[in-house]
Chains A and B, each alone.
Chain A
Amino acid sequence: MRGYIVRRIAYVLPVLLGVVTVVFLALRLIPGDPAIALAGEKASAEQIEQMREALGLNRPLPVQYVEFIGRLASGDLGRSIRTGGDIRQELIENFAPTIELSIAALLIALAVGLPAGILAALRRRTPIEYGTMIGSLVGISMPVFWIGLMLIYWLGARAAWFPLSGTASAGLDIPARTHFYTIDGLLTGDFTVFGDVLWHLVLPAITLSTITMAIVSRMARSSMLEVLGSDYLVTARAKGLSARTVVLRHALKNALIPVVTVIGLQLGALLSGAVLTETVFGRVGVGRYVLNAITARDYPVVQATVIVVALFVVVISLVVDLVYAILDPRIRYA
C-alpha cells in the first residue's frame, strides 16, 4: 500500500507539469492581451507598451516559460496582474470558501441523492422510482445559474427565507483565521455569526448540489440494481436473512463502490460548478476569483489556480482509490 501511494504521488509531478505547460500555452494562444486588459479602455498605445514591458510580456515565450517554471519550483506563484496582490495569499483566501461550498453541496447531494437512488432501486416501477428518475433528469438538465436565480427569486426575494447573495451579512465582522467562513464564524464564539454564515451557504450549496445529486442518485440506483440481482444476495435471502439485513449489510456496501468513484470525480466538477454559483450568489471563492482573472487575462492567477485545482483533483482521486480498499477488502494495491 505504501509503495502504491509513493508511486501515485510520483505520478503527480508529470501530471502537474503537463497541466502547467498546457495552461501556459493555452492562455497565450487565446486572443486577448493582458496589458490591454489591465491598462483599460482609456490607455494610450505608449502606456500599453510600458505595461507589457513591466509585466515581462514582451519577452520571448520560451523565456517566459522557463522563468515561470523556475518561480513555480521555488513556490513563488507571483503577483496578480489585476490586483497587484500576492497570489498565494489570494488563493488561500479564495480556495477555502469554495471548498466549504463544495463540501456543503456534496453533503446535500449525498443526503438526498443516495437514499433517493437506493429507494428507487428497491421500489421499482413505483412513483418513488419515477420521481427520482425525473428529478435527476431535471437536476442534470437545468443550468446551474438558472437554478440559482430561481432559488434567489423564490426562496430569497419572495419568501424571504434566505439572503439573496453574499458570504455573510454586510457589516458582520468575521476575523479571517482559517478563511473557512463557517469555521471562522464558529471561532468568533458567537452562534449568531455562525448561523448567519450557514444561512448564506444554504441556497448556493443547494444550487451547486443539483447536478451531483442527480448523478449520485442515478449511479446509486443502477449500482444497487446490479448488486440486488447478484447471486450472493440470492444466497443471503435463501439463508433467511431479512430484507433489511440483505440490503443494509450485504448489498449497500458493494453498491457504494462505483458511487465513491463518482463522488471523487464530482468533487472536481463541483469546483468548476462553483464558478457560476459563486457569481450568481456573489460569494467569495476561487471560481469567481479565476473568472475575474480570465476576464482580465491575469495569466499568473489563472495559471496558479489551475495548478492548485489540478493538484486538488489528483489528491482526491488518490484518496478515492484508497477508500476502495476500505470499502472492498478484495481490492489490493501492489
Chain B
Amino acid sequence: MRNSTMSRRALLRAAGAATIVAACAPVTTQPGATQTGTTATTKPAGATGTLTFLWGGDTDKLDPPAMTTQEGFIATTALYEGLVRYKPNSTDVEPALAERMPDISSDGLAYTFHLRSGIKFHDGSPLTAEAVAFSFDRSINKDNPLFKEAQAAGGFPFIDDYIGNVVAKVEAVGALDVRFTLRRKFSPLVPNLAIPPGFVISMEALKKYGSKINENPVGTGPFKFVEWKKDDHITVENFDGYWGDRAKLQRIIFQPVPEASVRILKIQRGEGDIAWPFDPKDASSVKGKADTDVLEQPGLNVNMAEFNLKKAQFQNKPLRQALNYAINKQELADKLYSGAGVPAVGVLPATSWGFDSTLKGYTYDPEKAKALLKDAKYGGETITLDSYTIPRGYNPQGAKLAEAVQQYFQAVGVKSEIKTTEWTEYRKIRRQGELNVAFGGWQADTGDPENFLGVFFYSKNQGGVNTSFYGTPEVDKLLEQANEETDTPKRKALFNQAEAKIVDDAPWLFISHMKQQVAIRKRVKDFVLQPTYIYYFNKVSVS
C-alpha cells in the first residue's frame, strides 16, 4: 500500500512537471508570427504581418488634443488624420482629408477646406464638414460642454498654441466645406493642422464617449483601434474601410520597454521591429548588421542653455558671446553624444525649411573668448550653471552636459558652479526667472520655424517657453511679419533675419541638434523617418 501511494505521488509529480515544462515552452514571439491566443480577426486582402514598435514609456493619452507625449503622437497618427499631412520625410504639408489645400480669403482671415467625399470613420459614420467642425469646436471652444468635460481629465494643453489662440471658430459652410475663421493672420495654421491636435475625431464617437474617447479612439486613419493595455501595449489593426491606399500591415503593436538597453536587445533578438529612442552609444551594436540597422538624420530639435536676461550678470552681450566661443561643440557632438549630435550654428536645425546655411554662429575659439571676456570686463565672478537631472531627447546625457560646459568655461578662465534641480521643479523655477545659465532644449512639433523662433524669442512668450526672457522690438516685428506673410520664400527671409539678430545677441549657449535615430530590423520595408516624429505607417510592410 505504501509503495502504491508513493508511486502515485511520483506519477503525479512527474505529470505535474511535464505539464509545467510543456506550459512553459516558449511561444514563438518573432514579430508577425502567428500566435495561439491572438484575437481572430478578418485579415484584409493584401495586409500581412505585425510590426512591433518599441518605445520607452507609454503615452499618457490617446485623445489627440489632450496628449502630451511623443509616443501618443506616433500611435494616434496610425488611427487619425488631419485635413493635411506631412509629405514623406518633409516639413511641407499636402492635403489629407481635404481634397486640396485651403482657399484663403483675401484678408487672410478665412481658410476654407473642401473635404474628400466618401471617407468614413472607423465607426462607419461619414466624414462631413459638420463632423470636422464638431471635432474642432470640442477642442477650441471653451463653452462647448465636451471641452468643459475634458478639463477634469487634464484638458487640451497644446491646442491653443497651434490652433486655439488664432482660430475664432470652425464651421460647416457646405456638406463638405469647412471654414476656419481666424482672429488674426497666421500662416503657420495649415502646417499646424497636420499634427495631432489638428486630427479629426468621429462626431458620433465624441457624442457617445465624451472624454472617454481617450480609451475608445475613432478616426479615419489606415488603422483602427483594437486595445490599449496601459504600460503594456497599444494594438491597432488594418482598417478595411480606409479611403486611400490600404495599409500593408495587418497590425501594429506599440510596446513600452522602459530600459533603453533592453529595447536594443529586443531589436537584436527579433522581439521588436523598430525601437525609438535609444542610447546613441548602443547604435553600433545594431547599425549595419545582417538583420538590423539604424536609420538616422538630423533631428528637428535644439539643445541649448539660456542666459537669464533678467539677471544683471547676463545683460552683458560680450560675456554671452565669449561663453559661446568657449564651447567646443564638435567635440561635444562627437564624444559626449557619441556622434549622434550635430553642432548648432544657431537656433534652427538643418531639417527646418527655415535653416540659414549662410549663418556663421560661434565656432570654437578660446582666444576670441578670452578677448571678449576682457571686453565684457569679466572679473572672475562665479557663473551658476543650472541643470536638470534626467536625460532628454535633445540631450540624452542630462547633467553631464553641464559638467562638460563647466570644463570649457574653466579653460578660458571662467569660474562656474553647477546646480542641478529635479525636472518638474526645474521647469517651474525656470519659468519664474530664478535660474542663471539654464540648460534646456526643444523638439519641434511642427516644421514651421515659428515653432522655434516664435516660442523662444517672441517677447510675449516670456515666462512661458521664452525663459531667457529675450525680447527686442526688431525681432518681435520680424516674427510678426513672418507669421502674417503667406509667401514661403518671403517668410524664410524674415525668419533668417530674425535668427541672425538672435544669434548675434547670444541669449543662448547654442550647443547642438540631436540626430533622430531609430533602430530597425531589416525585414521592415518602406519605413520613412519624419522630422516631426509623426510617422506614417500606410506604406510600411514586413517581410
Contact = CB atoms under 8 A, between A and B. Distances in A.
B424 A280 contact: no
A149 interface: yes
B173 interface: no
Interface string A136-152: 00000000000001001
A280 B60 contact: no
Contact of A36 (B235, B427, B461): B427
Interface stretch (A108-116, A191-199, A218-226, A228-236): A191-199
Interface in A174-204: 174, 176, 188, 190-196, 198-199, 202
A166 interface: yes
Interface stretch (A43-51, A126-134, A255-263): A43-51
Contacts of B501: none
A280 B256 CA distance: 11
Contact of A38 (B26, B157, B255, B422): B157
A282 interface: yes
B38 A171 contact: yes
Interface string B224-266: 0000011111010000000000000001010111110110011
Contacts of B445: 42
A317 interface: no
Q: Which of B160, B259, B461 has the most CB of A within 10 A?
A: B259
Contacts of B464: 43-46
A221 B129 CA distance: 76
B68 interface: yes
A288 B231 contact: yes
Nearest to B33: A171
A3 interface: no
A279 B58 CA distance: 12
Contacts of A153: 265
Interface string A161-177: 00111110111111010
Contacts of B455: 42
A46 to B, nearest CB: 8
B27 A170 contact: no
Contacts of A176: 229
Contacts of B60: 82-83, 296
Contacts of B146: none
Given A170-B52, A288-B231, A41 B259 contact: no
B256 A40 contact: no
A152 B257 CA distance: 13
Contacts of A18: none
Please indicate which of the listed interface residues B35, B235, B422 has the most CB atoms of chain A within 10 Å of its own CB.
B35
Interface string B75-114: 0000000000000000000000000000000000000000
B27 A172 contact: yes
A152 B269 contact: no
Interface stretch (B148-156, B327-335, B470-478, B530-538): B148-156
Contact of A37 (B52, B232, B424): B424
A196 to B, nearest CB: 4
Nearest to A160: B269
A59 to B, nearest CB: 15
A185 to B, nearest CB: 8
Contacts of A192: 23, 25, 27, 36-37
B255 A166 contact: yes
B424 A81 contact: no
A32 interface: yes
B38 A173 contact: yes
Nearest to B232: A284
Contact of A40 (B50, B68, B259, B422): B68
Given A42-B161, A84-B211, A199-B27, A157 B265 contact: yes
Contacts of B151: 54
Interface residues of A, number: 68
B271 interface: yes
Contacts of A188: 37
Contacts of B357: none
Contact of B161 (A44, A195, A199): A44
A39 B68 contact: yes
Nearest to B261: A149
B425 A32 contact: yes
B431 interface: yes
Interface in B1-43: 19-20, 22-27, 29, 31, 35-39
A292 interface: yes
A79 B253 CA distance: 26
A45 B24 CA distance: 54
B156 to A, nearest CB: 9
A90 B230 contact: yes
B161 to A, nearest CB: 7
Nearest to B68: A40
Contacts of A169: 27, 29, 35
A176 B232 CA distance: 13
Interface string B465-493: 10000000000000000000000000000
B262 A280 contact: yes
Interface string B51-80: 010000110110100101000000000000
B464 to A, nearest CB: 4
Contacts of B258: 279-280, 282, 288
Nearest to B25: A195
A33 interface: yes
A160 B266 CA distance: 11
B428 interface: yes
A10 to B, nearest CB: 36
Contacts of B266: 164-165
Contact of B31 (A31, A170, A282): A170
Q: Which of A36, A44, A163 has the most CB of B within 10 A?
A: A44
A48 B432 CA distance: 13
Interface string A233-260: 0000000000000000000000000000
A42 B465 contact: yes
Given A45-B463, A170-B50, 16 more contacts: A39-B157, A40-B158, A41-B427, A43-B157, A44-B160, A50-B155, A79-B152, A82-B154, A84-B214, A164-B265, A165-B266, A172-B37, A192-B25, A194-B23, A199-B27, A280-B262
22 contacts: A31-B421, A32-B425, A39-B157, A42-B455, A43-B157, A43-B158, A51-B155, A82-B154, A164-B265, A164-B266, A165-B257, A170-B31, A170-B52, A170-B272, A171-B35, A190-B37, A191-B19, A192-B23, A198-B24, A199-B24, A282-B256, A282-B258
Interface of B: 19-20, 22-27, 29, 31, 35-39, 50, 52, 57-58, 60-61, 63, 66, 68, 151-155, 157-158, 160-161, 211, 214-215, 229-233, 235, 251, 253, 255-259, 261-262, 265-266, 268-269, 271-272, 421-422, 424-425, 427-428, 431, 442, 445, 455, 461, 463-465
Interface of A: 31-33, 36-48, 50-51, 54-55, 79, 81-85, 90, 93-94, 149, 152-153, 156-157, 160, 163-167, 169-174, 176, 188, 190-196, 198-199, 202, 279-280, 282, 284-285, 288-289, 292, 296-297
